[in-house]
Amino acid sequence: MASRVVFLVYALGILVCSSFASAAIVEHSFDVQNLTVNRLCRDQVITAVNGSLPGPNILVHEGDTLVVHVFNKSPYNLTIHWHGIFQLLSGWADGPVYATQCPIQPGQKYTYRFNVTRQEGTLWWHAHVSWLRATVYGALIIRPRSGFRYPFPRPHREVPILLGEWWNANVIDVENEGLATGAGPNISDAYTINGQPGDLYNCSSRDTYRLRVERGKTYLFRVINAALNTQFFFKIANHNMTVVAVDASYTNPYITDVIVLAPGQTVDVLLTTNQTPDRYYIIANPYISQPQLPFVSTPTTGILIYNGATESTPIMPELPVFNDTPKAQRFFTNLTGLVTSRFWNSVPRQVDEHMFVTVGLGLVACDLPGNATCGGQNQQRFAASMNNASFEFPTRLSMLEAFFRNVDGIYTTDFPNKPPLEFDYTNKNNDLNETIIMTTRSTKVKKVKYNATVEMVLQNTAILGIENHPIHLHGFNFYVLAQGFGNYNPATDSRKFNLVNPQERNTIAVPVGGWAVIRFRANNPGVWLIHCHLDVHLPWGLATAFVVENGPTPSTTLPPPPPDFPTC
């Protein structure tokens, strides 16, 4: 009996040691500084990481510790957000400026250190100050740790595809011009695939992204929408794709000829090269849910080239029309979670916090000096809000530090669980309803207890026009229980909830003129933003935050900040 106990202890020790041995410390340095690049027939100075656009891809395995030394050699304040990383007990590394940290000022540095736990798939990193993420972004790829496999056949090759936007201007100036007048900023001049606009734009044929493939192989495309303000339809001519993950959460395989991505979302697809050896367009064209607004209509292209293909004009796929909402919604609603995957947890059934949150645009009073008028509707400033609260970030201390040090006056915990006024939310006749269009700026957050289950109905509104809003939650994945059009009806729409195998995401595209219901467990203490991932709307206030209280034990309590934590 004693020998059996010794053997079990010995075996357990080997298992524990091998688990630790499979984890590693992955270290990178980011030099962020000015870079002159040529796009669309002209030179443009941008802010970039390590002299490239996009920035470097980061590859880790689940269980690794990622350490990134950020040296800010740019003329702007800077932070880096690790989009979709849970940051379990490492909220100091999450990155959104004035939410979890003060900015890394020009000439300063900061080291982000965090563990990548219970996540596999495609995420990404980007700047979280102003519009810097237009050019400061890159892929963050999490492979299974040693001894584990993908829940699908191992692909021949993995290919990151980052979709973006390009301005023939300094993006900080573009944003500031819009904020100064209270109007909307200028739209981009092009879309990009892996930093290149593609051969449908002037002066872009030579640098169009090209991918050579071997016939009869399967490739894993890791598609990331890093654009500031545009959703995309993504296609590869004459090829079907099999969706196997979204936002670093595995899905049941879903075969489609088109995928749809809102800003902030990622989609992993398997593509089998089973067509005649030729040249095929990889293409992303905009999905515009608010057609009254200006947009760039020319899609961005790459070229898939079979080995042995002759030089010829690439084959063009049939493209969805830019406002094909039924096609977009069909894609979003056909995705389901893979319950047999390693990190799947069943949907919590007991809900502790019920929230109904309206999401949309509005106005705040014009505050320009003298007799000057603002450029927004009714000569006011454009604003955006949740439950009619237009979020304003503090500047003298980050909210996370205020939470940790118990400092008053940085935020208030009175974010409402429902809007102050009930109305016909998606009725276009309310577009300019003066009784509901105005809002005010505040720093209201929602405080919840550790391990509470939160359910949010995200309800789009028609104020100043209806559009699809991508909403991103920091620090957690959430289950997408249901989504639809019109006003949410709890009596009937709650019957549509998928409580068995819903998709998990960190960013949800709330349907244009519709609603989505999400649910998550608040098991990570700290301050976590939830906000629109259209960068035209975040400075306008379409955000709030969850303040999750510490748990009952040291292992569920936020530790102190690192020694080099930036101060305001």
In the CATH hierarchy, which fold is given to the domain comprising 353-556? Immunoglobulin-like (2.60.40)
CA angle 190, 192, 193 (to 5 degrees): 160
Quick one: pLDDT band at residue 375, thresholds 50, 70, 90? confident
Given a cut of 80, whether residue 6 has pLDDT beyond it is: no
Average pLDDT over residues 378-402: 94
**Nearest residue to 346 via CA among 482, 453, 267, 246:** 453
Given a cut of 80, whether residue 9 has pLDDT beyond it is: no
The yes-or-no answer to whether 153-338 and 353-556 have a common fold is yes
Provide the terminal-to-terminal Cα distance of the chain, rounded to the nearest Å.
62
**Nearest residue to 183 via CA among 462, 464, 427:** 464
Strand pairing category for 381-386 and 353-364: antiparallel
Given a cut of 70, whether residue 270 has pLDDT beyond it is: yes
| Dist CA 199 CA 326 (whole Å) | 29
pLDDT > 90 fraction of the chain, expressed in percent and rounded: 84
Structure tokens at 381: 């400033």
| DSSP H or E stretch at residue 304 | strand 300-306
**What pLDDT score does 14 carry?**
36
Q: Three-class SS of residue 193?
A: strand
Enumerate the domain spans of the chain: 22-148, 153-338, 353-556
CA dihedral 32, 34, 35, 36 (to 10 degrees): 170
pLDDT > 70 fraction of the chain, expressed in percent and rounded: 96
Higher pLDDT, 467 or 314: 314
Average pLDDT over residues 6-21: 39
Average pLDDT over residues 192-220: 97
| Dist CA 272 CA 217 (whole Å) | 6
> What would the pLDDT profile of 398-415 be if each residue is shown by its tens digit?
999 999 999 999 999 999
Q: Which residues pair with 517 in a beta bridge?
A: 457, 482
What is 153-338's CATH number?
A: 2.60.40.420
Classify residue 426 as exposed, middle or buried by CB count within 10 Å of its CB (0-12, 13-18, 19+): buried
Given a cut of 80, whether residue 61 has pLDDT beyond it is: yes
**What pLDDT score does 4 carry?**
41
| Dist CA 46 CA 382 (whole Å) | 27
Extended beta strands in 73-156, E state? 80-83, 109-115, 121-127, 137-143
CB-CB contact of 355 with 334 (8 Å):
no
**What pLDDT score does 22 carry?**
67
Model confidence, pTM: 0.95
In the CATH hierarchy, which fold is given to the domain comprising 22-148? Immunoglobulin-like (2.60.40)
| Dist CA 106 CA 77 (whole Å) | 6
**What pLDDT score does 224 carry?**
99
| Dist CA 138 CA 136 (whole Å) | 7
**What pLDDT score does 568 carry?**
87
Average pLDDT over residues 190-214: 97
> What would the pLDDT profile of 150-193 be if each residue is shown by its tens digit?
999 999 999 999 999 999 999 999 999 988 887 888 999 999 99
Given a cut of 60, whether residue 10 has pLDDT beyond it is: no
Higher pLDDT, 113 or 185: 113
Given a cut of 80, whether residue 458 has pLDDT beyond it is: yes
| Dist CA 270 CA 143 (whole Å) | 15
Given a cut of 60, whether residue 16 has pLDDT beyond it is: no
CB atoms within 10 A of CB 416: 16
Mean of all residue pLDDT scores within the chain: 94
**What pLDDT score does 180 carry?**
82
CB-CB contact of 384 with 542 (8 Å):
yes
Given a cut of 80, whether residue 522 has pLDDT beyond it is: yes
| Dist CA 515 CA 494 (whole Å) | 12
